[in-house]
Structure 1
Amino acid sequence: MPKSGASQMHTHLQASLGFDIYYGNIERTRQGARFYAQRNNGRNYFNDYLDIHQMLGLTIQIGNAHIIVHLTPIKDLEIMIMDEKLNKNFYKALHLVLQTFVDDLKEYSFSFGMFLPPMNESSANGHQMPVVWRLVFRNPVTNLRSDMNGLDLYTVYIQRTYNV
């Protein structure tokens, strides 16, 4: 079997819990949002990000939850959901996206990542994070080779080195 191929289809779930900071891509986004607020009179990066996508017609709103077709996806078919907190409308949006991928697009192989606002962060500095959920299509489940993993996409990229 080719490197990284699995002998059977299966799921993975990774979780992380920290006190003061995230790691990898999530923390980089958080720090970038802070910097954005400092450079833009306290404006919230996530609100501005959402506004741009709304102006371009790339969102679907369900209550305060927003499904976003990502302008700069990290891979094909990346979809985002943002909301201030986890609530009924967030879960409705999540269900709609997953149902669309599976029932309408017949895409059964995907990875997603989700992060919640830090419990000790306030909106006083203009950088409060929303709940963010991101999903990308993966190679078909019948492929023997792995194309990537959720950790590479949404948390920390693991550099692979090869000895020649």
Structure 2
Amino acid sequence: MPQITDIPARIAALDPEQQACCQRLYEISAAAGRLELPPSMHAWTERQFGSLGAVREQHMLKVTNCWTLEGALFNPTRARRPALGHTGDAAIDAWVAAELREDIFAQPLRTTPADPFGRIEGRHCITASNIAKYDGWHGVVICREPHPLRFDAEQIVDYIATAWRWIEAAHRADPSAIYPLITWNCLPKSGASLAHGHLQVALGAGQPYAQVERWRQAAQRYRHEHGRAYAEDMHQAHAALGLALPPVAGCRRLAHLAPARNREMVMLAPAQGHPAAALARALAATLLALRDQRGVRAFNAALAFPPLRPDGRDWGGLPAFARVGDRGDALSIRSDLGVMELYGMAVITADPFELVG
């Protein structure tokens, strides 16, 4: 299987058009780190990292998206650093069961507030108004299945469809609110404050959410400078490098070259049809594969959409899109985010090629 450190060689082997596409989008450089181990560390290093050679010379890859300025430093060796152990499913189930003994989402009609327009009910979920809001219109999609990891494709599609109906209701109540964002934090490591499965949905006014606007501005500048669609070329570059997965519901899926977190997948909605419905099916297929095949338990997912009406900004070249990333050991007290992620660039320990292998 290819490795992320093979990317420079893979780009060099592409035809000129594909090379140009990759080089327009990404700045990529390799680095090597070397160290000397004292004999007193040899036994521990072999136990922890598998061999002395694994750390004596380490090969890293730095990838920066030239347009969004998102970037990642890849070094899979860092995944073998000392940790507190791995939380298995039995421990997760026990933690969830303990948390659900006092489950405020168990009876949402009694224990959660409603939005001014009421509640939206799906087959597998119901909405509530978020009691501690981060925007004027901010709701919660409460899953009927309380365990946060017990979901299937039908349930995920229903969660997203219900969230979209909430967005439509909020827009009817407040036509100035036009910027939709659907998010999902699963388990504490992801930032979820409650064990009971739930998604969040927001509809902003005044300006797009900043991370979405970053991508929109990148697509606008890219089209202005190169006369090409940013999302199309982003997919072309990933496909040429072997980092594209089969599409689902017309959504192109990419193992992201400039991820915010490990095992990040990007889904790009098709131009035709309802983007929320297509992204829901693509997200379902992606999350089920991450959970069942890659062992992902704690994750963040987001679905971003163009505004519900024209806002004077150029949204051409950027379709609705979704991102999902792995947050690591679900119950670990150790953060997977540090100063580099906050003020430098993302440090990534998982190889994107494992997602397409």
Q: CA deviation at 1:69?
A: 0.6
Higher relative contact order (CA 8 A, sep 6+): 1
Tell me the equivalent position of 2:239.
54
Contact 1:45 1:127 survives alignment (8 Å) = no
SS in 2 for 1:78: strand
Distance 1:120 1:36, change over 3 A: farther
Following the alignment from structure 1 to structure 2, what is the Cα–Cα distance between the partners of residues 62 and 127? 22
Larger radius of gyration: 2
* Residue of 329, 342, 353 corresponding to 1:140: 329
Relative distance call for 1:11 and 1:146 in structure 2 (3 A) is farther
Closer, same or farther in 2 for the Cα pair 1:13/1:127, shift >3 Å? same
Q: How far does the alpha carbon of each residue in 1:36-75 deviate from its partner, in whole angstroms, 9 at most, with x for none?
A: 111122x211111111112222222224211111111122
Stretches of structure 1 lacking an aligned partner (at least 5 in a row): 159-164
Q: AA paired with 1:31?
A: Q
Greater per-residue strand proportion: 2
Give 2:298's aligned amino acid.
S
Q: Percent identity?
A: 27
Q: How does 1:1-164 map to 2 (within 5 A)?
A: 9=195, 13-19=199-205, 21-41=207-227, 43-59=228-244, 60-84=246-270, 85-86=274-275, 89-121=278-310, 127-148=316-337
TM-score (norm 2): 0.36
1:138 shift after superposition: 0.5
Aligned length in residues: 145
**Where does the alignment leave 5 or more consecutive residues of structure 2 unmatched?**
1-187, 344-357
TM-score by length of 1: 0.71
What SS class does the counterpart of residue 220 from structure 2 fall into? Answer: helix
1:61–1:67 CA contact under 8 A, matched in 2:
yes
Q: Are the aligned partners of 2:256 and 2:264 in contact in 1 as well (CA < 8 Å)?
A: yes
In 1: Cα distance, 2:278 partner to 2:194 partner: 35
Q: Tell me: CA distance 1:17–1:87, structure 2 relative to 1, closer, same or farther (3 Å).
A: closer
CA RMSD of aligned residues (A): 3.2
One-letter code aligned to 1:97: T
